[in-house]
Chain A
Amino acid sequence: MPEKRISIHATRYDPEHDKEPRLQTYDIPFSDESMVVLDALNYIKSHVDGSLSYRWSCRMGICGSCGMMVNGTPKLTCSAFLRDYWPRAVVVQPLNNFPLIRDLVIDMDDFMHKLKSIKPWIIRKQEIPLGAGEHRQTSDQIDEFRQFSECINCMLCYAACPVYGLNNEFLGPAATALARRYNLDSRDEGLKQRLPVLAESEGVWECSFVGECSVVCPKGVDPAKAIQQTKLDTTMRFVLPYGNRE
């Protein structure tokens, strides 16, 4: 039987030599049904073209490094199986909506700044000493924020977001979801400090209910919900005093 093969079209771009990104085609063996797109890239880098650049690490869908556009859809390449594309070719491109550094490597500095801006840490008026033990928290209280804490910062939601694509001043799905994660945590009293950042974020009001971000999230986070809830929070802020949840 002839060896099964698959074509990978991968974006190549070296700012030192290229004006524009271009696609380069690699025809590689599809030797195992368990192969994912990341395995194909690794095969290329190892055996065909050592200069192909991309990020990856855990190859188990948790480190968040290997997000790319796969046939036009944002995916974790470690979890995108070649068998789902074969015999079609697979087009692998850098995540949409980000500046390109090299080949499949995007510049995510913008997100790192946005993450910090929402103060993603527990804020309390008074910290309790370690000797006092843990805050009590029920499973129900954890369920309030749990899904938003599952964000792996993979950037697929930003690549899918039509609003961020037009206006990168928009705080965007993951950062809003993480702000929500802390605002909903029974241990946190930082809502008042985070609200101005959320309220001033351009684009919240352009966000539709379509929720492309939630569709592409590989971890079941629903950033669209966080954004809609944030609209409510920031409106309420001007209408109602905010009770005991500062």
Chain B
Amino acid sequence: MDFESYDVLVVGGGLAGLRAAIAAVEANPRVKVGLVSKVYPMRSHTVSAEGGAAAVMRPEDSYQTHAFDTIKGSDYLADQDVVEAFVREAPLEIIQMEHWGCPWSRDPDGKISVRPFGGMTTWRTCFAADKSGFHMLHTVFQTSLKYPQITRHDEAFVTKLLIEDSRCVGVVALDIRTGRFDAITAKTTILATGGLGRVYAFSTNGNICTGDGMALAYRAGVGLKDMEMVQFHPTGLPFTGILITEAVRGEGGYLLNNGGERFLKRYVPNKMELGPRDIISRAMITEFEEGRGFEGPHGKYMHLDVRHLGEAVIDRKLPFMRELGREFVGIDIVKDPIPVRPVQHYMMGGVDADISGETPILGLYAAGECANVGLNGGNRLGSNSLSECLVFGAAAGRAAAHYASSAKPVTANPVDAMLWDEAHRVETEYLEKKSGNERIAVIREEMQKEMDDGAGVFRTREGLSKLVRNLGGLRERFEKVKIEDSSRTFNTEILAALELDFMLEVSSAVAFSALAREESRGAHARRDFPERDDAKFLKHTLAFHTKTLAPRLEYRDVTITNFKPQARTY
């Protein structure tokens, strides 16, 4: 049987994946790179990032400060050696993006502008108006087209990692257009599949953010690290969950409760609207609970007010926000406050990977949101994630290219058998099964509601125990799922089933990891354990897949270099 074979195979065509592909080629122009993505790369969810990318760009700023802000923001769960390396690389990556044509917004002297952002003590967020992710993604995608070494497999969904003698040798992928299963083999594989926001009902994430890479690695035996650390962004539009960028507050917007009060003075008095996301989201929920939220047709909300900034500033720095307000809410943010409430936004947790993106499985790497390299700990600071995609995407690409140059080639024989097994599994479990009676969407919607209820901004043992039980019930019902679509051609129902399978997997990792962390740290806020407990939990959670729904949990010490854990107040 024929199969494609690469030196480096990247799974995922967002910012981290594309950056990794280019870095691999630039590290060694002789490497053959494959890039497989379930959507055309420019559809990847990077496209929705708005506010910007953080890096030390000004003489008055320092690596030390960016590192400290990130570590304090993480509630001391970040690995400090990783953060220190990250802050040094980030400015170079911003410049690299500029050389590739990213239309960064500029200061009058022609230099790249920076704006303030939450949890950052100084201005260091580079931006392209309020469509930073869109511009960065299109820049890096279009730039990737100039490298003949990169071959794309667009609209192919990876169902399984090929593991041979404890080494990753590529993937099995379903070609969505034809329904054909292919083995795409490679000496090294980089997972860059993004987040898992779709396990929640109310999320800023696009339909494609289903935790695929996390589930693939988890099933292959890699630990998922700190999966309890889920970020809720303070400002999503009610009903749609559309993200209203933190840059709105960076540019001077106010968050107001139903008394017109800037309520953050009671929670983060020194930072106000520029406090970190975890604390502001909790403050908003607390205000709601105490009766100080607005009541709307889609639940409680607060006002985000930019009217005092004036039309000129709004049109220059926040034009997309004005467009979103007009299109999706029917308001003009120049004249009306924006209704917002906390919304699932980002996953700090992910595939256990080191500073080079290497996972414990030989030949397998991870970068971007699907990975946890130890940068974000318990709470990511806004604008660190686009920079993370660049820095650690590039690192993984270089490391993979380096390893591939000395790795032995992949042999056809076991791969053929593994491909046949995997194709057979999907055929029998989904396509050929006629007996099921459960609707995919019903199970998915119940899972999302359970996750919102049990693993939201505030958690309790009771709520998490219920979540764990109910996820178990949903997993059993999933076995009886019904597929109505029997076509091989662009069968999006099979895709939805495979994605739901992955989402149930990663949801369980979130729930069990959260249940076991009996403290409050970063985004993980337990009402029954409201304090941080460094004696017991200054540690990463590692969840390993088992035959049951419950993972085996292990803990690993956090790497501390120069910043001793302190109380986290703003």
Chain A positions within 8 Å of B, measured between CB atoms, are: 14-17, 32, 34, 45-47, 49-51, 53-65, 79, 101-103, 105, 108, 112, 115-116, 119-122, 127-128, 130, 133-139, 142, 145-146, 149-150, 152-153, 178, 182, 185, 187-188
Complex formed: what's the CA distance from A187 to B490 in Å?
41
User: Do residues B488 and A16 form an inter-chain contact, with CB atoms below 8 A?
Assistant: yes
**Residue numbers in B under 8 Å from A133 (CB-CB):** 95
Instruction: Write the residues of chain B forming the contact surface with A, with a CB cutoff of 8 angstroms.
Output: 39-40, 42-45, 47-48, 92, 95-96, 98-101, 103-106, 108-112, 131, 134-135, 138, 142-143, 145-146, 154, 177, 206-208, 239-240, 242-243, 297-298, 320, 323-324, 327-328, 439-442, 445, 482-493, 496
| Residue among B106, B324, B441, B490 with the highest chain A CB neighbour number at 10 A | B490
- What chain B residues lie within 8 Å of A128 (beta carbons)? 99
Minimum Cβ distance to chain B for residue A159 (Å)? 17
Chain A binding surface SS class: loop
Once A187-B101, A188-B101 are accepted as A-B contacts, the answer to whether A57 and B207 lie under 8 Å apart by CB is yes
Is the CB–CB distance between A149 and B135 below 8 Å?
A: yes
The residues of B that contact A103 with a CB separation of less than 8 Å are 490
A178 to B138, CA, bound (A): 11
Known: A46-B440, A61-B327; 13 extra A-B contacts, CB below 8 A, are A34-B298, A45-B441, A47-B439, A51-B486, A60-B243, A60-B324, A62-B47, A62-B48, A62-B134, A63-B206, A65-B43, A138-B106, A188-B101
Q: Is the CB of B99 within 8 A of A32?
A: no
The docked-state distance in angstroms from the alpha carbon of A45 to that of B181 is 24
A137, B101: Cβ atoms closer than 8 Å? no
CB pair A153 B42 closer than 8 Å: yes
CB distance from A240 to the nearest CB of B (A): 26
A50-B439 in contact (CB<8A): yes
Chain A contacts for B44, CB-based, 8 A = 63
> Assuming the A-B contacts A62-B134, A134-B112, are A53 and B492 also in contact, with contact meaning beta carbons closer than 8 angstroms in the complex?
yes
Would B142 and A58 count as touching, CB distance under 8 A?
Answer: no
Q: Judging by beta carbons under 8 Å apart, are B99 and A122 in contact?
A: yes
Q: Answer whether A127 and B99 are a contact pair too, CB < 8 Å, given A45-B441, A60-B240, A120-B142.
A: yes
Which residues on A sit within 8 Å (CB–CB) of B487? 14, 16-17, 51, 102
Q: Is the CB of B490 within 8 A of A105?
A: yes
- Nearest chain A CB to B149's CB is how many angstroms away? 14
Of the residues A53, A62, A136, contact of B109 by C-beta under 8 Å:
A136
Across the interface, name the chain A residue whose C-beta is closest to B96: A130
12 contacts between A and B (CB under 8 A): A46-B442, A50-B483, A60-B48, A60-B243, A60-B328, A102-B490, A122-B101, A127-B99, A128-B99, A130-B99, A142-B105, A146-B103
Chain A residue with Cβ nearest B239: A34
Chain A residues with CB under 8 Å of B240's CB are 34, 59-60
A93 CB to closest chain B CB, in angstroms?
A: 16
- Bound-state Cα–Cα, A146 to B177, Å: 34
**Residues on B with beta carbons closer than 8 Å to the beta carbon of A50:** 439-441, 482-485, 493, 496
A136 touches B111 (CB 8 A): yes
Q: Complex: how many Å from CA A18 to CA B243?
A: 41
Q: Are A57 and B206 in contact (CB under 8 A)?
A: yes
CB pair B112 A53 closer than 8 Å? no
Report the separation of the CA atoms of residues A46 and B440 in the bound assembly, to the nearest whole angstrom: 7
Chain B residues in 8 Å Cβ range of A47: 439, 441
Q: Which residues on the A side are within 8 Å of B490 (C-beta)?
A: 53, 101-103, 105
The answer to whether A115 touches B145 (Cβ under 8 A) is yes
Tell me whether A121 and B145 are in contact (CB under 8 A): yes
Tell whether, in the assembled complex, residue A101 and residue B112 are in contact, meaning their CB atoms are under 8 Å apart. no
Q: Is the Cβ of B489 less than 8 Å from the Cβ of A16? A: yes
Taking CB atoms, residues of chain A closer than 8 Å to B327 are 61, 79
Task: Please indicate the chain A residues that have their CB under 8 angstroms from the CB of B489 in the complex.
Answer: 14-16, 101-102
